[in-house]
A and B are shown apart, each in its own frame.
Chain A
Amino acid sequence: MSKLLTRRGLLKTGAIGSAGLAMPTIFTSAAHAFTNAPTGGSVTLGFNVPQSGPYADEGADELRAFQLAVEHLNGDGDGGMLQTFSSKVLEGNGILGKKVEYVTGDTQTKSDAARASAKSMIEKDGAIMISGGSSSGVAVAVQGLCQEAGVIFMSGLTHSNDTTGKDKKANGFRHFFNAYMSGAALAPVLAKNYGTDRKAYHLTADYTWGWTQEESIKAATEALGWTTVNTVRTPLAATDFSSYITPILQTDADVLILNHYGGNMVNSLTQAVQFGLRDKVVNGKQFEIVVPLYSRLMARGAGENVKGIYGSTNWHWSLQDEGTKAFVKSFGTKYGFPPSQAAHTCYVQTLLYADAVARAKSFNPCDVGAALEGYEFDGLGNGKTLYRAADHQCFKDVLVVRGKENPQSEFDLLEVVEVTPVDQVTYAPDHPMFAGGSLGACNPGA
């Protein structure tokens, strides 16, 4: 008999217990079908975002989006994307009539700290869903925890193939796109602009996300005729990339692909430009640099150097569909600047969770999971989107972007050059880059 008990479940029983105060009542659960079943008039969601460390600003933006989503779910504010969402079951009265409350925590972008924080949300605060995060290591670690504890995990920004590949879990769901999709969307645009006869040199951050990114973009570009001169791994902690950049000068490579994110990307791009790579002409062609995954927030650190550099992104505030416009308007009015892609994915994930609960008419993770699986929706900024049942990955159009030449403001860093249709980035669930894991059975806990 499992007795994994939860605070919230106890409150109800606690009321009975307090009737006979002198008699301590020891509860062994059996009454609850799942972990942290909400009992009172409210339901608690856990938002676990980086608040310290290099991704703290991205985490802060995620938190803003979560707060906005909670506001909209509870019927405050202008409703944001609830108005444009294809599903209409959410009425602005919380989730299933229960007011949405939330707790926050600091992942510190460390899997240990992230799990500790998520555990405290589950064990102490009675959170029934955990969301957020800004790196794949943390996402995979917290997803594993949520599977064990029996709550739903709606991941934030995580781009590694593994999150819905070899480390996928039945209780985990990802809206963000992944490295494979970046490669598949970017390669044709690169081929169109730079030709099919190119020699690429990769610098790759030496950890799991970097490797999946390298593997994906390499396969995608090679399929279009590019050759790969070399792939070099750089330490995650590196801040000076000079000794990795100078060897490029000695090769006949004419494209540099930086499989770096965040601080690594800012430094390696800045330094590559300093070394004059973009002024070089090799094999009669202009040397080019590509950054497969862009983060607008962090790319600002590279300043002028991003101009004209291609990359991909999950979403951008300059899109002109109704969902995006509604979201940018309500976020921008509240906070004074446009949301980032991390904010967008977190906002959407929260709405999707609430909507799934409302459609399933149950908070039970297994019912919620079933409602999300194979669900098709629209109006959340990415066009028509499918939550695939086989791996809990969202399939939607991918944006290929380029650093803008004449930005109008400090937020106006990227321009969307192509919206790659979803068919082009869809892959089979058993694609070799995603093989090796299984969802397992959904776990309602308790």
Chain B
Amino acid sequence: MDAIILQILNGLDKGSAYALIALGLTLIFGTLGVVNFAHGALFMIGAFCAVTLNKILNLSFETLDPTRTDFLGNPLKVKTPYVESWFGPDVGAAIIDWSVPLAILFSIPVMIAIGFIMERGLIKHFYRRPHADQILVTFGLAIVLQELIKHYFGANQIATPAPDAFRGSFDFGAMLGLDPNVIIYPYWRLVYFAFAAVIIGGVFAFLQFTTFGMVVRAGMADRETVGLLGINIDRRFTIMFGIAAAVAGMAGVMYAPINSPNYHMGMDFLVLSFVVVVVGGMGSLPGAVLAGFLLGVLESFASMNAIKSLIPGIDQIIIYVAAIIILLMRPRGLMGRKGVMED
């Protein structure tokens, strides 16, 4: 029983990550109709926003400590971050410690700007081109972005820890009056879950309750008519692109403490995010979110030892098995709209 509760928690947590990544992708892919292979790269750049901010906060000046030596036998250079010398060691260390949450604020403008530049500079010219061309250009872009990151940050993973305050776990068992120390869950993962819920809710509310969202939704359904009504739909699509990039980026920032970022992480999530979006159904935001959580929970259950011993290797393929079954039973995924990318 404990095991199942824990795997549901794992599944929801994984699912919130999947849903968040898929949400950004489906805004571009499911609704604007652009096959965006650079979406994984946006997620990766988000994670590197956290790394960059951490690096900036850690900018240091060096003083020589003659009492200690470095690996070559020269006097050791001791680094002191500027923030620590400006705000005092305690406050400075606290600021550095909180770099990941701070990076959220940092990433939003950065990601929106990247989204704007991408859309205006490149994607705009590909709305009317075949999907094949979109794949090629966005794949090329993804490679370029990832090589740039590799050039500046190297190929290894970079530790990006969550603030100390979130270290440790929350004891659900004790709260529910069960044995303590069995159903425990790390604070940061709970934060991630809550954060994902807020972002997903925010995007839905934005599209559902604002005039802007109404126009965008109308534009997705029938771009031409909206254009004929004298509404500049292009500008709104640009803004949507920026929002999608920001959602992907924030997903990346918050994921950095769970999965130390490296330049390659976008490609690792790319296939998965496409599967989630398509299983959810093209053109459906709720579908993408639902599929994210569904696949997350399924994946967690499949990695339980009891199930693994029953079907060896099931945890390797469960996502794909689930995708095949769902797409065969429901032609347009869970909640897909008719006629979106079906030909």
A residues sitting closer than 8 Å to B (CB atoms) are 52-58, 60, 206, 230, 232-235, 237, 239-240, 242-244, 246-247, 249-250, 263, 266-267, 270-271, 274-276, 279-280, 297-298, 300-305, 317-318, 328-329, 332-333, 337-338, 408-409, 411-412
Whether, in the assembled complex, B240 has its beta carbon less than 8 Å from a beta carbon of chain A, the answer is no
Q: A243-B304, A276-B186 are in contact. Are A266 and B161 (CB under 8 A)?
A: no
B153 CB to nearest chain A CB (Å): 10
Q: A54-B155, A54-B262, A237-B268 are in contact. Are A247 and B305 (CB under 8 A)?
A: yes
A244 — which chain B residues lie within 8 A by C-beta? 303
Whether, in the assembled complex, B89 has its beta carbon less than 8 Å from a beta carbon of chain A, the answer is no
Q: Which residue of A lies closest to B297 (CB)?
A: A243
- For the complex, give the distance between the alpha carbons of A408 and B67 in Å: 12
A141 CB to nearest chain B CB (Å): 21
B159 — which chain A residues lie within 8 A by C-beta? 266, 270, 300-305
- For the complex, give the distance between the alpha carbons of A328 and B150 in Å: 26
B253 CB to nearest chain A CB (Å): 16
Judging by beta carbons under 8 Å apart, are A274 and B188 in contact?
yes
Stretch of B70-78, B199-207, B231-239, B277-285 that contacts chain A: B70-78
Enumerate the 7 nearest inter-chain pairs by beta-carbon distance, A residue then B residue, closest first.
Answer: A303-B159, A301-B157, A56-B155, A246-B6, A243-B300, A243-B303, A276-B169
A270 CB to nearest chain B CB (Å): 6
Taking each of A263, A267, A411, which has the highest tally of chain B beta carbons within 10 Å of its own beta carbon? A263
B158 — which chain A residues lie within 8 A by C-beta? 300-301
Judging by beta carbons under 8 Å apart, are B168 and A279 in contact?
yes
Judging by beta carbons under 8 Å apart, are B299 and A301 in contact?
no
B305 — which chain A residues lie within 8 A by C-beta? 230, 232, 247
A-B contact pairs, 7 of them (CB 8 A): A56-B154, A206-B316, A233-B308, A243-B7, A249-B182, A274-B257, A298-B157
Convert B251-274 into 0s and 1s, putting 1 for each residue whose CB lies closer than 8 angstroms to a CB of A.
000000111101011001000000
Q: Which residue of B lies closest to A270 (CB)?
A: B260
B325 CB to nearest chain A CB (Å): 20
Judging by beta carbons under 8 Å apart, are A53 and B155 in contact?
yes
B7 — which chain A residues lie within 8 A by C-beta? 243, 246
B265 — which chain A residues lie within 8 A by C-beta? 239
- For the complex, give the distance between the alpha carbons of A318 and B300 in Å: 42
Q: Which residue of B lies closest to A237 (CB)?
A: B268
Which residues of B152-180 have CB atoms within 8 Å of chain A's CB atoms? 154-162, 167-169
Judging by beta carbons under 8 Å apart, are A249 and B184 in contact?
yes
Judging by beta carbons under 8 Å apart, are B189 and A56 in contact?
no
If A243-B299, A249-B2, A317-B71 are given as contacts, then 12 extra A-B residue pairs at C-beta distance below 8 Å, sorted by A number, are A243-B14, A244-B303, A246-B3, A250-B6, A267-B260, A276-B168, A300-B158, A301-B157, A301-B158, A301-B159, A329-B72, A408-B68
A303 CB to nearest chain B CB (Å): 3
Judging by beta carbons under 8 Å apart, are B10 and A302 in contact?
no
- Pick the contact of B259: A58, A240, A318 (CB < 8 A): A240
Judging by beta carbons under 8 Å apart, are B155 and A411 in contact?
no
Q: Which residue of B lies closest to A298 (CB)?
A: B156
A276 — which chain B residues lie within 8 A by C-beta? 168-169, 184, 186
Q: Which residue of B lies closest to A412 (CB)?
A: B71
A242 — which chain B residues lie within 8 A by C-beta? 10, 13-14, 189, 300
B205 CB to nearest chain A CB (Å): 28
Whether, in the assembled complex, B216 has its beta carbon less than 8 Å from a beta carbon of chain A, the answer is no
A103 CB to nearest chain B CB (Å): 22
Judging by beta carbons under 8 Å apart, are A54 and B14 in contact?
no
Which residues of B180-200 have CB atoms within 8 Å of chain A's CB atoms? 181-182, 184-186, 188-189
Q: Which residue of A lies closest to B186 (CB)?
A: A274
- For the complex, give the distance between the alpha carbons of A160 and B303 in Å: 25
Judging by beta carbons under 8 Å apart, are B184 and A275 in contact?
yes
Q: Which residue of A lies closest to B153 (CB)?
A: A57
Which residues of B35-80 have CB atoms within 8 Å of chain A's CB atoms? 68, 70-72, 76
B26 CB to nearest chain A CB (Å): 21
B162 — which chain A residues lie within 8 A by C-beta? 274
- Pick the contact of B150: A56, A235, A274 (CB < 8 A): A56
- Pick the contact of A409: B70, B161, B300, B304 (CB < 8 A): B70
Judging by beta carbons under 8 Å apart, are A54 and B182 in contact?
no
Q: Which residue of A lies closest to B146 (CB)?
A: A52
A297 — which chain B residues lie within 8 A by C-beta? 156
- Pick the contact of B304: A240, A247, A263 (CB < 8 A): A247
- For the complex, give the distance between the alpha carbons of A301 and B268 in Å: 17
- Pick the contact of A249: B6, B156, B167 (CB < 8 A): B6
Q: A250-B3, A304-B161, A332-B72 are in contact. Are A280 and B181 (CB under 8 A)?
A: yes
- For the complex, give the distance between the alpha carbons of A384 and B254 in Å: 49
- For the complex, give the distance between the alpha carbons of A416 and B130 in Å: 59
A243 — which chain B residues lie within 8 A by C-beta? 7, 10-11, 14, 299-300, 303-304, 315
Q: A243-B10, A409-B70 are in contact. Are A55 and B3 (CB under 8 A)?
A: no
Judging by beta carbons under 8 Å apart, are B268 and A239 in contact?
yes
Q: Which residue of B lies closest to A265 (CB)?
A: B157
- Pick the contact of A271: B168, B258, B299 (CB < 8 A): B258
Judging by beta carbons under 8 Å apart, are A328 and B156 in contact?
no
Whether, in the assembled complex, B123 has its beta carbon less than 8 Å from a beta carbon of chain A, the answer is no
B76 — which chain A residues lie within 8 A by C-beta? 408-409
B294 — which chain A residues lie within 8 A by C-beta? none
A235 — which chain B residues lie within 8 A by C-beta? 315-316
B308 — which chain A residues lie within 8 A by C-beta? 232-233
Judging by beta carbons under 8 Å apart, are B71 and A338 in contact?
yes
Q: Which residue of B lies closest to A56 (CB)?
A: B155
Q: A235-B315, A276-B186 are in contact. Are A247 and B3 (CB under 8 A)?
A: yes
B13 — which chain A residues lie within 8 A by C-beta? 242
Convert B15-50 into 0s and 1s, putting 1 for each residue whose CB lies closer than 8 angstroms to a CB of A.
001000000000000000000000000000000000
- For the complex, give the distance between the alpha carbons of A18 and B157 in Å: 54
Judging by beta carbons under 8 Å apart, are B72 and A333 in contact?
yes
- For the complex, give the distance between the alpha carbons of A317 and B315 in Å: 40
Judging by beta carbons under 8 Å apart, are B157 and A266 in contact?
yes
- Pick the contact of A54: B3, B71, B264, B300 (CB < 8 A): B264
Taking each of B14, B157, B313, which has the highest tally of chain A beta carbons within 10 Å of its own beta carbon? B157
A395 CB to nearest chain B CB (Å): 28
- For the complex, give the distance between the alpha carbons of A303 and B268 in Å: 22
B251 CB to nearest chain A CB (Å): 13
A267 — which chain B residues lie within 8 A by C-beta? 157, 258-260
Judging by beta carbons under 8 Å apart, are A275 and B303 in contact?
no
B264 — which chain A residues lie within 8 A by C-beta? 53-54
- For the complex, give the distance between the alpha carbons of A249 and B265 in Å: 28
